[in-house]
Amino acid sequence: MFSNVSLPPLAECLRIAVRGLRVLAGIAAINTGIAAVLAFGIKPDDTFWHDFVYSQAIGLSMWLLIDIPRHLLWGRGVPSRRVFPWIVVAAVLIGVPFGQWVARLILCTGDQPWRADSLRMSFIIAMLAALGAMYFYWSRGKLAALQRQAALDALEREEAEKQVVRAQLMALQAQVEPHFIFNVLAHVDVLIARDPAGARRLLQHLIGFLRTSLAHARAEQCTLAQEFALLRAYLDIQALRFGARLQFSLALDEAIADLVIPPMLIQPLVENAVVHGIEPSREGGSIALSARRDGDRLLLEVRDTGVGFGRDARPGMGSGLGLTHVRERLSRLFDADARLTLAETVPHGVSVTVELPLAHDAVGAEVSGAPAPQWRCRFSRPAVAPALAPRAPAGT
């Protein structure tokens, strides 16, 4: 992945300077190696210092004549196969005589005649070095292009995963809302004749729930406070439907209200508690929703006092589409770091607990008066649903 963080001008200049010095040191080392081969192998009559000066002067001249146009034309991209070879040829034709002229000035041999054999040898070595430089720049440019393509592919995969999660959320919403809205509207139809004010209140709650639910399902993440606000709106509607048969409570510690979780993660669990726990029970029951932090884990619990897993329970209890969807989302977002457990409560009812991992963000030094460490919900796949810093408090 490429960083989008821009460095300050001074830091950027230092980074470029360090990179340039590193490349320059590499070129100088190659030139020194060529000088050693010439002095101790091919041209033993010349001194090492003589060959060293010539190698550095010619090599650095050619490098500048190749690298400056390459950088101006293609940057860190792949050089053109049609243009770059001509730049290399021009660098050899200009760099060899220019480098020899500089070397003669350094060695104070400008009054001596030019040696044809030395010039010919310089051209041969320079051409071989230029071919190596061409291969190096092409390879580096190709590697950079492959890395950029890999980064783009990764972004496309992340976007595809986001689309999958959005589709899952829309599917979940499509599963939750139709029969829920049908039941609410059917109840409104009954209330219109005998309790118009109650029917109006129920419709107002339904409108508020649908407005919140629509914005909620389109988001990639939400705070616990926002999730609890949606669930309160949902349970308010169900409480108007069931009357005295349904009581509910929500317990959310303010210290963790701004933790970010996947949206509509708890909604199917609460719906299951209503549909499979409270509705089949003649006496009704209560639903308690809570969220708390236990070390580096976030525990979300939905507990009901409905029929539980007994004989009055509806078929498929504990294995419905809602629970399956939650399990799949937990696996996709958290891998094996999250768990969903079901347990029967005494004397009757079901407790569903979701455990999510938390990541620790140390804020400030551990000194007196320093800010307290912050926590955030840790997603295994941040591209799907990024774990953000705590948001501003949302009303419940």
pLDDT digits (tens, 9 = 90+) for 189-222: 888 888 888 888 888 888 888 887 777 766 777 8
Fold of 219-377: Heat Shock Protein 90 (3.30.565)
pLDDT of residue 396: 35
Q: What secondary structure, in 3-state letters, does the chain show?
A: CCCCCCCCHHHHHHHHHHHHHHHHHHHHHHHHHHHHHHHHHHCCCCCHHHHHHHHHHHHHHHHHHHHHHHHHHHCCCCCCCCCHHHHHHHHHHHHHHHHHHHHHHHHCCCCCCCCHHHHHHHHHHHHHHHHHHHHHHHHHHHHHHHHHHHHHHHHHHHHHHHHHHHHHHHHHHHHHHHHHHHHHHHHHHHHHHHCHHHHHHHHHHHHHHHHHHHHHHHCCCEEHHHHHHHHHHHHHHHHHHHHHHEEEEEEECHHHCCCEECCCCCHHHHHHHHHHHHCCCCCCEEEEEEEEEECCEEEEEEEECCCCCCCCCCCCCCCCHHHHHHHHHHHHHHCCCCEEEEEECCCCCEEEEEEEEEEEECCCCCCCCCCCCEEEECCCCCCCCCCCCCCCCCCC
pLDDT digits (tens, 9 = 90+) for 235-286: 999 998 888 999 999 999 888 999 988 888 888 899 889 988 999 988 999 9
The reported pTM is: 0.54
Domain ranges of the chain: 9-153, 219-377
